[in-house]
């Protein structure tokens, strides 16, 4: 139903002393769903602590990628980037991610209707990652602020690769279905606030393993965007400037007289200067954000212990489905 080993389980094993490894193995055999639920609850609490980005502009599309207010600008940018051979492979990753988000439109739209938080969060962070990764390719190809591709963060691109792999396997689609189904069943019951997420995260415990398979991707993106501290509007300004520069073909247009050409070139040079300045600001914040996010994740991983899991499992009746998690 879901692939093993799960990343969260690997983190737990890494934090478990040798003398307790056997106990953990037995615990996983006897109560794997409850262990998965405990891990999911822990990771979800961590995510909620760092959810500070305003996603109003993304949420307005309600899960329909093509309904994003900046969809056309994104498409134009990718069309121009297709001429840049040196980013072909990386642009393919972004294009595949876009295709996958569009393909799963029904699940994302349903998630918004049901207020399925984990589905909404996946949509928000994936769209944000597509925009962020596009920003990196603009900086690499269209500005003078970097001399090598290695000078820019590839964090969003790496997360999109993992997202695409999960879609290719079909595991992500199953997880979204489980999350939406759970939200449907919980819609008529009183649910706890997100910041009060309990370890017994899903009433349908079998769904915890499905969602646990991709929740670390969300966590890495949430932490990254928190520490990057960039507004989505900054990325969109970068897109706009990049498009303006590429849409002006002064030297190839015989209809322009010399005065007109000079005026347009002057404007274009101003756009290039602004693009360089903004791209450098974003690039620095991306690099810093990636570094600080990795440090924070390392710190948060240390909190995932076998003792915590045992306490969570002990507090849950194995035969009784835990209630009250707002997915």
* pLDDT higher than threshold 50 for residue 205: no
The tally of CA atoms less than 13 A away on the side-chain side of residue 12 is 28
Global confidence as pTM: 0.86
In this prediction, residue 285 carries a pLDDT of 95
Least confident piece of the model among 97-101, 118-122, 270-274, 277-281:
270-274
According to the model, what pLDDT value does residue 93 have?
A: 97
Q: If you average pLDDT over residues 257-274, what whole number do you get?
A: 77
Predicted confidence band of residue 5 (pLDDT cuts 50, 70, 90): low
Say which range, 58-62, 69-73, 321-325, has the weakest mean pLDDT.
Answer: 321-325
Confidence of residue 246 (pLDDT cuts 50, 70, 90): confident
What does the pLDDT read at residue 253? 63
The CA-based angle 158-8-209, given to 5 degrees, is: 100
The string of pLDDT tens digits covering residues 82-135 is: 987 778 899 999 999 999 999 999 999 999 999 888 899 999 999 999 999 999
Query: Contact 207/183 with Cβ under 8 angstroms?
Result: no
Report domain extents, the chain.
7-230+286-314
Packing angle of the helix pair 232-247, 117-142 (nearest 10 deg): 40
With pLDDT > 70 as the criterion, what percentage of the chain qualifies? 85
pLDDT single digits (tens) 15-49: 999 988 988 898 888 888 888 888 888 999 899 99
Residue 200 clears pLDDT 70, i.e. is over it: no
**Over residues 61-68, mean pLDDT:** 98
Whether the predicted pLDDT of 266 surpasses 80: no
Q: Is the bond into 5 cis (omega within 30 degrees of 0)?
A: yes
Half-sphere exposure in the Cβ direction for 243 (13 Å, CA): 16
Lowest mean pLDDT among 120-124, 234-238, 271-275, 294-298: 271-275
**Is residue 200 within 8 Å of residue 129, measured between CB atoms?**
no
Least confident of 142-151, 163-172, 221-230: 142-151
- What pLDDT shows up at residue 222? 97
* Residue 313 confidence (pLDDT): 82
The mean pLDDT of 228-255, rounded to a whole number, is 83
Place of tokens 């999960």: 166
Q: State how far the alpha carbon of 238 is from the alpha carbons of 56, 95, 151, 313, in Å.
A: 19, 19, 18, 48
Q: Averaged over 207-218, what is the pLDDT?
A: 84
Separation between Cα atoms, residue 293 and residue 315, nearest integer Å = 32
């Amino acid at each position: 139903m879901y692939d093993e080993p799960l990343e969260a389980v690997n983190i737990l094993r890494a934090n478990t002393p040798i003398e307790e490894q056997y106990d953990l193995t037995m615990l996983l055999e006897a109560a794997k769903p409850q262990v998965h639920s405990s891990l999911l609850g822990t990771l979800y609490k961590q995510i909620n602590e760092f959810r500070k980005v305003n996603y109003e502009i993304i949420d307005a599309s309600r899960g329909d990628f093509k309904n994003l207010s900046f969809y056309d600008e994104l498409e134009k940018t990718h069309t121009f980037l297709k001429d840049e051979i040196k980013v072909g492979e990386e642009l393919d990753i972004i294009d595949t991610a876009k295709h996958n988000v569009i393909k799963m439109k029904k699940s994302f739209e349903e998630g918004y209707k049901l207020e399925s938080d984990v589905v909404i969060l996946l949509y928000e962070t994936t769209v944000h990652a597509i925009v962020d990764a596009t920003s990196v390719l603009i900086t690499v190809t269209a500005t003078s602020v970097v001399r090598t591709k290695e000078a820019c963060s590839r964090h969003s691109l790496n997360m999109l690769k993992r997202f695409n792999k999960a879609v290719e396997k079909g595991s992500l689609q199953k997880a979204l279905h489980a999350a939406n189904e759970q939200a449907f069943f919980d819609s008529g019951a009183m649910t706890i606030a997100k910041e009060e997420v309990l370890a017994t995260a899903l009433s349908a415990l079998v769904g915890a393993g499905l969602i646990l398979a991709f929740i670390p991707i969300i966590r890495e993106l949430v932490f990254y965007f928190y520490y990057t501290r960039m507004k989505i509007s900054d990325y969109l300004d970068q897109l706009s400037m990049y498009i303006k520069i590429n849409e002006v073909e002064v030297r190839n247009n015989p209809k322009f007289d010399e005065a007109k050409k000079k005026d347009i070139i002057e404007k274009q040079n101003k756009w290039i200067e602004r693009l360089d300045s903004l791209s450098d600001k974003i690039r620095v914040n991306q690099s810093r954000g990636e570094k600080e996010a990795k440090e924070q994740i390392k710190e948060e991983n240390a909190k995932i212990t076998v003792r915590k899991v045992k306490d969570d499992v002990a507090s849950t009746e194995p035969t009784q489905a835990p209630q009250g998690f707002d997915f």
